[in-house]
Structure 1
């Protein structure tokens, strides 16, 4: 458990042990972990050392505190690699989770100026505006607003957007999706987003904007998404050149 002769700091060993106990489902998301006193007695270390370990795990998002109640196990964050281009439904299936959506908006609108620029269209064109809450295992993960050129996909319907758009585009329309450019930034949820994502007002969210292209070079969609920062994280492998 804890090896006091190890060169690894004791607080770090406690962190790794608690992570392992969470991984082994001794503690599940939402469970309260033992108190600092109980942990210090169990590990036979000072409460200050235990407090350092717990604070680090709270800062890393593995645990969260509730004033006057205790410290609890956080929901596991979904890791989204920045390499490769997949849709939300595909991402969730790869993780063994059930993806679903709640359609908030589906309509045809005159193209907004910023969307016209990104889709390389003139202002006389129209686009579908599709706004959905995206769920993983019935828990809200993101609010996603998609703009697609109506002339490119003329028969899009409410029924079709309940599933995977990428699957419909590639397997039904036989259009080849090639690439996307993507921007991610941290921001704060307003009251409307907080309500949709079921998070406290002013919670941190990850705002992502994606511009996607077909193999023939045509831009076919702009997607603006707000992801729950407490449930989602983006990861990337980088190499020294």
Structure 2
């Protein structure tokens, strides 16, 4: 096996150099495709460092969600997924662009419908009789498989219609076509089993876990704009929280 000994005269500690090397290694297509990384013994020998030093580097990448380590099986690259969080509120298109993921739309359905009670309360429609909301359902993913099923209801005060070109980013349509500037998103994230409908949409089993991400979206005037529910494959979505003291 080819040696890639680290430079012990470098200013960066050896575990940082090892981390950099592994980051470069896991970008190779063979590892992205599921090939196991070399064992700790092999990697330590290749880099001419101790296993404890190597383990520091690997633990950091496991903690970041880039590597998955299973006892008795080895270490492999975690399939690249969506990263969301309270300091990272972006539209789906923006999130995917930042991650370098090419988006594929698997399904798009648009219709007008009566709003369920929870949505009606969110848009304060109680006093508006016979008011229907635009409902948009989308199944989206990368070029290989779908990983999110979105259900969005929109404030009926915004004259969105099924004639819009929804291949454009949604918040771009709202701002450029309707003068609606989206500013705030309040979110709820929780886990559950997929169930039959979501499983069919995401090509998984009904008993597989999913993450549900509810977004309550407001414009710059505090008006409720969108009630969005995203059902994510649990193997393709990581939610991060960053707190400062």
Range into which the TM-score falls when normalised by the shorter chain: 0.7 to 0.9
Aligned to 2:192: 187
Encode CA deviations 1:73-118: one digit per residue, 9 max, x unaligned.
3312332242254211122123333233233431111111111011
CA distance in 2, matches of 1:14, 1:198: 37
Q: Contact 2:191 / 2:211 at 8 angstroms: preserved in 1? A: yes
Encode CA deviations 1:108-150: one digit per residue, 9 max, x unaligned.
111111110112212632101111112234532211000013x
Report the TM-score when normalising by structure 2: 0.72
Equivalent residue in structure 1 for 2:101, among 97, 101, 104? 97
CA distance in 2, matches of 1:62, 1:74: 5
Aligned to 2:209: 204
Given the superposition, is the C-alpha separation of residues 65 and 159 from structure 1 closer, same or farther in structure 2, using an over 3 Å criterion?
Answer: farther
SS in 1 for 2:124: coil
Encode CA deviations 1:29-54: one digit per residue, 9 max, x unaligned.
32234468866986899x9xx99x99
Given the superposition, is the C-alpha separation of residues 98 and 26 from structure 1 closer, same or farther in structure 2, using an over 3 Å criterion?
Answer: closer
Given the superposition, is the C-alpha separation of residues 55 and 86 from structure 1 closer, same or farther in structure 2, using an over 3 Å criterion?
Answer: closer
Q: Does 1:229 align with 2:234?
A: yes
Given the superposition, is the C-alpha separation of residues 71 and 216 from structure 1 closer, same or farther in structure 2, using an over 3 Å criterion?
Answer: closer
Q: Contact 1:145 / 1:225 at 8 angstroms: preserved in 2? A: yes
**Shift of the alpha carbon at 1:183?**
0.8
CA distance in 2, matches of 1:85, 1:63: 25
Alignment of 1:16-95 (within 5 A): 18-19=22-23, 21-23=25-27, 27-34=31-38, 62=66, 72-95=76-99
Q: Contact 1:29 / 1:72 at 8 angstroms: preserved in 2? A: no
SS in 2 for 1:83: coil
CA distance in 2, matches of 1:22, 1:164: 31
Given the superposition, is the C-alpha separation of residues 119 and 155 from structure 1 closer, same or farther in structure 2, using an over 3 Å criterion?
Answer: closer
CA distance in 2, matches of 1:78, 1:128: 26
Unaligned 5+ residue runs, structure 1?
3-12
* More off after superposition, 33-42 vs 215-224: 33-42
Unaligned 5+ residue runs, structure 2?
7-16
CA distance in 2, matches of 1:121, 1:174: 22
Q: Contact 1:98 / 1:138 at 8 angstroms: preserved in 2? A: no
Encode CA deviations 1:168-224: one digit per residue, 9 max, x unaligned.
000111122221211111222123322322334422222111111122332121001
Equivalent residue in structure 2 for 1:218, among 223, 228, 233? 223
Aligned to 1:139: 145
CA distance in 1, matches of 2:153, 2:191: 22
Given the superposition, is the C-alpha separation of residues 55 and 95 from structure 1 closer, same or farther in structure 2, using an over 3 Å criterion?
Answer: closer
CA distance in 1, matches of 2:101, 2:179: 27
Q: How many residues align?
A: 234
